Structure 1
Amino acid sequence: MPYDNHKDLPESVQNALPPEAQSIYLAAFNNAWDEYKDADDRRGNQSREEVSHKVAWSAVKQKYHKNDNDMWVKSS
């Protein structure tokens, strides 16, 4: 289930990430959703959705990190 906009993202993502990071998450999720549609392309027996969320969080973590206040901020 690809996402069309930020409002479609899970509430946990909307509440945790700033808008730019949400855009990264959305784009990475949608790309992974297409890339891993075939079960043979995924490791183990993870679902397409599970893999797509993992890819999306990984993409966010390339440009953002949690600060001491447990808030996601852009990495320098």
Structure 2
Amino acid sequence: MAQKQLDEFPSEIKEQLLDGAQQIFVAAFNSASDNGMDEASATRVAWNTIEQNYDKGPDGKWHRKPDDTNQRFKSVQSGGN
């Protein structure tokens, strides 16, 4: 399947996603398509990718989740030798 550009997606996608999320959606969709997925499956992959880093706000738009620094930097203690 040929690579899709943002303007080829339905307007609801462009209206709900902010610029950075739009680019992530398109990249995820195209990657899934390149791996042989049909359009419906590639769309599901793209939305799942968005849901990992964005939350849908009360305004109906997807907003980036706040960084959780506690998740990235966990302390590890070693028992020694």
Q: Same fold (TM over 0.5)?
A: yes
Aligned-pair Cα RMSD in Å: 1.5
State the AA in 1 paired with 2:29.
F
Aligned length: 65
Greater per-residue helix proportion:
1
Runs (5+) with no aligned partner, structure 1: 38-47
1:53 partnered with 2:43: yes
TM-score (norm 2): 0.70
Percent same amino acid at aligned positions?
29
Query: C-alpha deviations, 1:35-71, integer Å up to 9, x for none?
Result: 125xxxxxxxxxx011000000011111111123332
**Which residue does 2:12 correspond to in 1?**
12
Q: What is the CA distance between 1:11 and its match in structure 2?
A: 1.1
Q: Which has the larger radius of gyration?
A: 2
**Which residue does 1:41 correspond to in 2?**
none
Q: What is the CA distance between 1:9 and its match in structure 2?
A: 2.1
